[in-house]
Amino acid sequence: MSYVNFWLDVVALLAVTFTGWVAAMLQAVFPPPSQSAGWVLWGWDYDAWARAQFAAICVCAVVILLHIMLHWNWVCSIVATKVLRLKTRPDDGMQTIFGVGTLVVLLHLILGGIIWAMFAVQRPA
């Protein structure tokens, strides 16, 4: 299990580093998106770099999710004993239910925010 955690942390470090680097490219090298037409860096225009940034953010999210899943017993123990001050932590079945429930709630919040933004966006006349 130590090897899995080690390699997951290595991937997390690389993913976060790449995400930060791409974000810096978009901020420091390119002009604002509305003025970046025709600008190309290493064969990629602004839109390609923005897609790379989004892909890197998705990789970071998956790695973080895997990291939390591998440490879910610890997370539940800390929440139960330190935050909620319970005498015992929930059993494995309840921990699974809490984990799935938390994931479902977070995904619904993300989807709700996207739907809200789709209705709230102001398009040009």
Write down the pLDDT at residue 87: 84
Domain membership of residue 13 (yes or no) is yes
Contact 85, 48 (CB under 8 A): no
Global pTM value: 0.78
Upper half-sphere CA count for residue 93 (Cβ side, 13 Å): 0
Q: What's the pLDDT at 62?
A: 94
Mean pLDDT by 10 residues, the chain (125 residues): 88 95 94 91 94 95 92 87 84 87 94 96 88
Is position 111 within any domain? no
**Per-residue model confidence (pLDDT) at position 79:** 87
Decide if 118 is inside a domain.
Answer: no
Residue 37 sits in which domain range? 2-70
Q: How many alpha carbons lie under 13 Å from residue 123 in its C-beta half-sphere?
A: 3
pLDDT at 75: 87
Dist CA 94 CA 92 (whole Å): 6
The answer to whether 86 touches 94, Cβ cutoff 8 Å, is no
Query: Across-strand partners of 44?
Result: 41
Asked if the structure places residue 15 within a domain, the reply is yes
45 is a domain residue:
yes
> In angstroms, what CA-CA distances link 24 with 13, 28, 31?
16, 6, 12
- Total structural domains within the chain: 1
Tell me, yes or no, whether 98 lies in a domain. Answer: no
Look at residue 58 and tell me if it is in a domain: yes
**Is 121 inside any structural domain?**
no
